[in-house]
Every structure is written in structure tokens, then in C-alpha cells.
């Protein structure tokens, strides 16, 4: 039987008392490790995080906590090779895709270390200027941001076990709030190992960082009113969290990032083969295949002028056809596996729903697997579907409603820009949309039209062809989140991320007293 990974709770490493759930190599089908959270003292562990970890963190200044993050990043950087090996085995990702998760997480952690250092030797943050409450400036109101006295429970998705950890934990720890992370079971190994390496290095106070692997049962029950929850995952699970007594009755603050039908839009006026056209084609193919399409920000719908539908279909399909799929250990492979058999089945079911309303423009079944047994490996080739005309884009409701969390996208023709924006709006709110064109004013107008529907709008023109950071790449300097179906939450965005982990309070006092607050 494989190793049972330990949880870290209450300042110590503890194994669950059950047999555990096996984590499996999605290419080879072999058991790797097991995780289990049975029998953990969640209430006691959470109390230790709040009382011991929280007190130690709040005693530090922002600059001191930033140095703590920098030290953690240094520890993780020294063990990158171990993390890549785990990602290959547990997530089935090729090296470049593992880098998006692992190096992306380290970059985000290091970014918040730099941002925190800029806040200096303070323990609270001023929120705006003091405002007088009468004719004379002797009695005023000053808003402050103070770290919450609770803990941050981070419930993460399976697709980013590294980045998903650090993009939440870095701003929480910088804010002075202890973290308990619950990674998705299927890929929990990388998260657990990173937490273990940082905890064992002693760069954080006891109770500042905890990890619970396995079942999430009881986690929400152990929360108290000043705690916060940040969740990434399905809309169904998000609904359960929102309706939980911790949120509905004890007013635990919650941030949700859920399903998202993200879009890419090629503006009118571009010819087949133009630079903007080629930029769209390249980005769509990359977003479909990176991490086997298992990204919450991946492009799911591609909108092009009706006259360009055939050209776009051929160009994207041609790129996809060159993608080698199979065992990520083989250097010729460019796209690895889905993370599990359950995920493979979900992708196949979703594809069947989409195919009922769309034509197949490139069939993933045409890709022979490299160095992998199709009966065992959770691999599937990239599939591009489409609606033949603009009327089909209007009529095909499943193409706007169904997210297949894998290497699948749909090409949709539109009549004019107004029609394209109407079709994109049928996604009911998304994390990101990207816009491609060469007319600066048309790009700006489209970005403003998309802004109310998205957390981020990524504008790509020929002058930034080699500079833009990518449709699906979440940079810590920019907002990550989105309205409506995307969950209504906000993460990252530089120092804006700290807002979630602070409480805003108005201090009404004399001008002399207010002068001492910061």
C-alpha cells in the first residue's frame, strides 16, 4: 500500500485514521500516495490557527510578513525539481504546463513579498483620507483596514495545486491572517508537499499555515464568524458553501470563483492571415491544449465574423492537428492527460451534449496517443466544434451554457460587433474575454462593452504580439474573478487582494488621536 500523506493541523503533522483515498497517475494508472482526514480535531486545529498563528502574524508588520513570504519562496524555489516530478505523476502535465502552475505560484508568492515590503512598518492600513464630521476639523472620521481576527479557509480546485494555493495564501498571510488550505483530493500531493517544505523550514509561525487533505467533511462546521472562505470550483459546490450555516447564519465572509464560459473575439475588418487573425488562431489553440484545457480561464467560445468562419475553422484545426497527445514523460508530447478517469468521463459527456448542437471541425479522436495505453490513460485529443452560421450561433443554447473542462472549444460566427457582444453576454458572466484586432478605437470600444460581463478583458493587437501575457494567464497584478456565473468574486489585483482578509472600520476621534493610528 502507498504512503499515507499527513495533514498539518494544530501546529503538528497528523495522519488520518482511515484507509485513505488513493491518488493515481492519470497516464499509467498506478497508485501514488493516499490522503485521509478522518479523525482530525478540526475545531482544535482551527483554534490553534486563530489564536497562535493569527496572534504571531498580527504582531508582525507588513514588511516583516513580506520578508516571511520571500523566505517561503526561497524554500520552494530550491525544491522545484521535486514539484515538477510530482506534477508529472499526479497531474499528467507536460513540463511547460507544470511550469504554469509551479512557477506561476512562485511568481505570485514573490510578487506579494515585494508588494508587502512597499507597505512598510505598519500593522494597519489607512483607507482614504480623514473626513471632518463638523464645521471644524477637530473631530473626524478615518477609515482603516485591520486584519480579520479569524482564519482563512482556502478550498482549492484540482487543476492548480501550486498556483491555487499561493495566489490565495500569499495575500492572506501578508494581511496577517492564518491559512488552512483544503486542496482538491485528486491532486493534493503537490499542495501537501509544498506546505510541508515551508512548514518544516520554520519560516512561518506555528499555526500560520495548515493543510487538510482528503474529505472536506466538518470544515465548514468548524468556522467562526470572523473567519473567511475562499473557494475555487464548481457552481454546485459553491451553492452548497453559500447555503451553509457558517455563511448563512454566522456571516462568514466568502469569495467564490466558479464555472466560466470564457470568450475570444476577433473584431470585424480583419482578413484571413492578417496579424490579428493569426494572433487569435494561435491563442485559441494554446488555450485549448495548455493543461489539457483544464483551466478556469481557458477559451471556451471563439467569435469571428460570419465571412471568416471557414478560414478560422481551417486555421485553428490545422494548429490543433499538430498537437501530440500522450505520456508527458515523452519529450515529443505537447499535451498530457486529464487528471482522472472521472474528469475524462465528464469531458466525454460534455462533448456529447455540445455535439448535439454543433458540427465537429477538428475531432480529438484523430490523435493517436504517444507512449500511452488508451485503455488506461486519461488522455483525450483537442476538439473544436462550431455553428455553421450566425443563426446557428443564436439557436445553439448549449454552446453558450455548457462548459467542458478539457481541450474543447466552439467556433461561433456573428453578424456584427453588436451581435457578438450579445452572444458573449449569454455566458452570464465570465472570468476573462480576449479581443483581437488592429483598430485601437474599435478594440477600446469592445473592451468597454465587455467590461460589465467580465473580471478581466485581455486586448491583443499586433503592436503587443510579443508582449501580451496571454488570455488565460492570471497575473497577480490584475484582478482575477468575474460576475454572475463566474462566482461574483475577486482575487489578486495587486494589493486589492488584501481587502478580503481585512475588516474596514471607521474611527471617529479628534484629529490629534487620528494622527497616531497608522
Alpha helices in 434-518 (DSSP H): 440-450, 511-514
Q: How many domains does the chain have?
A: 2
Whether 421 maps to a domain, the answer reads yes
The CA angle 28-29-34, to the nearest 5 degrees, is 125
In a domain, residue 94? The reply is: yes
d(CA 504, CA 416): 45
- Could you list the active site residues? 257, 296
Co-location of 109 and 158 in the same domain: yes
Q: Does some domain include residue 36?
A: no
pLDDT of residue 329: 97
Per-residue cell: 276: 490579428
Indicate whether 439 belongs to any domain.
yes
Give a three-class secondary structure readout of 132-185. Answer: ECCCCCCEEEEEEEEECCCCEEEECCCCCCCHHHHHHHHHHHHHCCCEEEECCH
User: Residue 139's domain is classified under what CATH number?
Assistant: 3.40.605.10
* 141/167 same-domain check: yes
Which single residue is written with the C-alpha cell 471632518? 132
**pLDDT < 70: residue spans in the chain:** none
272 lies in the same domain as 376: yes
Residues ≥6 apart with Cβ < 8 Å to 37: 7, 16, 212, 213, 214, 215, 216, 217
Q: How far apart are CA 208 and CA 397, in angstroms?
A: 46
236 burial class (0-12, 13-18, 19+ CB within 10 angstroms)?
A: exposed
Helix runs in 250-308, H state only: 275-289
DSSP secondary structure string for all residues of 211-228? E--S--TTTGGG--TT-E
Same domain, 236 and 114: yes
pLDDT at site 71: 98
Say whether both 467 and 505 belong to one domain. Answer: no
Tell me: do 289 and 217 sit in the same domain: no
> What is the pLDDT, as a whole number, of residue 98?
98
The verdict on 246 and 284 lying in the same domain is no
- Return the pLDDT at 259: 86
22, part of any domain: no
User: What does the H/E/C string look like for 192-213?
Assistant: HHHHHHHHHHCCCCCCCEEECC
Residues 413 and 498 in one domain: no
Per-residue confidence (pLDDT) for residue 517, from 0 to 100? 87
The string of pLDDT tens digits covering residues 130-139 is 999 988 889 9
Do 164 and 276 fall within a single domain?
A: no
Residue 284 maps to a domain: yes
496 plus 434 within the same structural domain: no
- Both 495 and 378 in one domain: the answer is no
pTM of the predicted structure, to 2 decimals? 0.96
Per the document, the length of the chain is: 518
pLDDT recorded at residue 136: 86
Any domain includes 23: no
SS3 504: strand
Per the domain annotation, does 3 fall within a domain? no
Q: What's the pLDDT tens digit per position in 235-245? A: 999 999 999 99
d(CA 430, CA 511): 45
Nearest to 279 by CA among 402, 445, 463, 79: 463
Domain that holds residue 136: 42-258+491-514
At residue 326, the pLDDT reads 98
Give the CA distances from residue 277 to residues 239, 313, 383, 399, in Å, rounded to whole numbers and listed in that order: 39, 12, 20, 22
Q: Is residue 248 located within the same domain as residue 268? A: no
Task: Give the pLDDT confidence score for residue 135 in this predicted structure.
Answer: 87
Angle formed by the axes of helices 95-118 and 62-77, nearest 10° = 160
Q: Residues 253, 229: contact at Cβ < 8 Å?
A: yes
Amino acid at each position: 500500500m502507498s504512503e499515507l500523506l499527513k495533514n498539518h493541523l494544530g501546529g503538528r503533522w497528523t495522519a488520518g485514521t482511515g484507509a485513505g483515498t488513493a491518488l493515481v497517475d492519470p497516464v499509467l494508472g498506478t497508485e501514488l500516495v493516499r490522503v485521509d482526514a478522518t479523525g482530525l480535531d478540526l475545531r482544535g486545529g482551527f483554534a490553534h490557527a486563530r489564536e497562535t498563528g493569527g496572534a504571531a502574524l498580527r504582531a508582525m508588520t507588513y514588511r516583516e510578513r513580506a520578508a516571511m513570504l520571500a523566505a517561503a519562496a526561497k524554500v520552494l524555489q530550491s525544491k522545484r525539481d521535486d514539484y515538477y516530478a510530482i506534477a508529472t505523476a499526479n497531474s499528467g502535465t507536460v513540463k511547460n504546463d507544470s511550469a504554469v502552475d509551479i512557477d506561476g505560484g512562485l511568481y505570485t508568492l514573490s510578487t506579494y513579498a515585494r508588494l508587502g515590503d512597499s507597505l512598510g512598518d505598519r500593522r494597519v492600513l489607512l483607507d482614504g483620507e480623514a473626513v471632518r464630521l463638523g464645521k471644524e476639523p477637530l473631530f473626524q472620521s478615518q477609515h482603516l483596514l485591520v486584519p480579520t481576527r479569524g482564519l482563512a479557509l482556502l478550498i482549492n480546485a484540482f487543476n492548480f495545486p501550486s498556483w491555487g494555493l499561493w495566489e490565495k495564501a500569499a495575500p492572506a498571510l501578508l494581511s496577517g491572517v492564518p491559512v488552512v488550505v483544503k486542496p482538491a483530493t485528486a491532486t493534493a500531493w503537490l499542495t501537501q508537499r509544498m506546505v510541508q517544505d515551508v512548514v518544516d523550514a520554520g519560516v512561518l509561525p506555528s499555526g500560520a499555515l495548515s493543510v487538510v487533505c482528503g474529505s472536506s467533511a466538518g470544515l465548514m462546521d468548524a468556522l467562526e464568524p470572523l473567519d473567511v472562505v475562499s473557494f475555487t470550483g464548481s457552481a454546485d459546490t459553491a451553492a452548497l458553501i453559500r447555503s451553509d450555516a457558517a455563511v448563512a447564519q454566522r456571516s462568514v465572509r466568502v469569495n467564490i470563483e466558479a464555472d466560466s464560459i470564457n470568450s475570444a473575439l476577433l473584431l470585424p475588418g480583419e482578413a484571413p492571415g492578417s496579424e490579428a487573425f493569426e494572433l487569435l488562431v494561435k491563442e485559441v489553440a494554446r488555450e485549448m491544449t495548455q493543461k489539457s484545457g483544464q483551466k478556469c480561464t481557458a477559451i471556451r467560445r471563439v467569435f469571428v465574423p460570419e465571412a471568416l468562419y471557414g478560414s478560422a475553422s481551417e486555421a485553428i484545426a490545422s494548429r490543433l492537428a499538430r498537437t501530440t497527445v500522450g505520456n508527458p514523460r515523452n519529450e515529443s508530447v505537447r499535451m498530457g492527460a486529464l487528471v482522472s478517469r472521472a474528469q475524462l468521463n465528464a469531458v466525454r459527456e460534455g462533448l456529447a451534449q455540445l455535439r448535439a448542437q454543433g458540427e465537429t471541425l477538428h475531432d480529438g479522436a484523430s490523435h493517436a496517443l504517444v507512449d500511452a495505453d488508451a485503455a488506461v490513460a486519461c488522455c483525450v485529443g483537442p476538439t473544436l466544434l462550431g455553428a455553421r452560421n450566425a443563426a446557428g450561433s443564436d439557436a445553439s443554447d448549449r454552446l453558450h451554457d455548457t462548459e467542458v473542462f478539457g481541450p474543447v472549444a466552439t467556433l461561433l460566427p456573428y453578424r456584427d460587433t453588436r451581435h457578438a457582444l450579445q452572444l458573449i453576454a449569454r455566458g452570464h458572466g465570465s472570468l476573462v474575454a480576449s479581443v483581437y484586432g488592429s483598430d485601437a478605437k474599435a478594440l477600446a470600444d469592445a473592451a468597454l462593452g465587455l467590461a460589465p460581463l467580465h473580471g478581466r478583458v485581455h486586448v491583443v493587437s499586433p503592436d503587443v504580439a510579443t508582449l501580451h501575457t496571454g488570455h488565460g494567464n492570471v497575473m497577480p497584478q490584475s484582478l482575477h474573478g468575474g460576475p454572475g456565473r463566474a462566482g461574483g468574486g475577486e482575487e489578486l489585483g495587486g494589493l486589492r487582494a488584501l481587502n478580503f482578509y481585512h475588516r474596514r472600520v471607521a474611527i471617529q476621534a479628534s484629529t490629534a488621536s487620528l494622527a497616531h493610528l497608522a
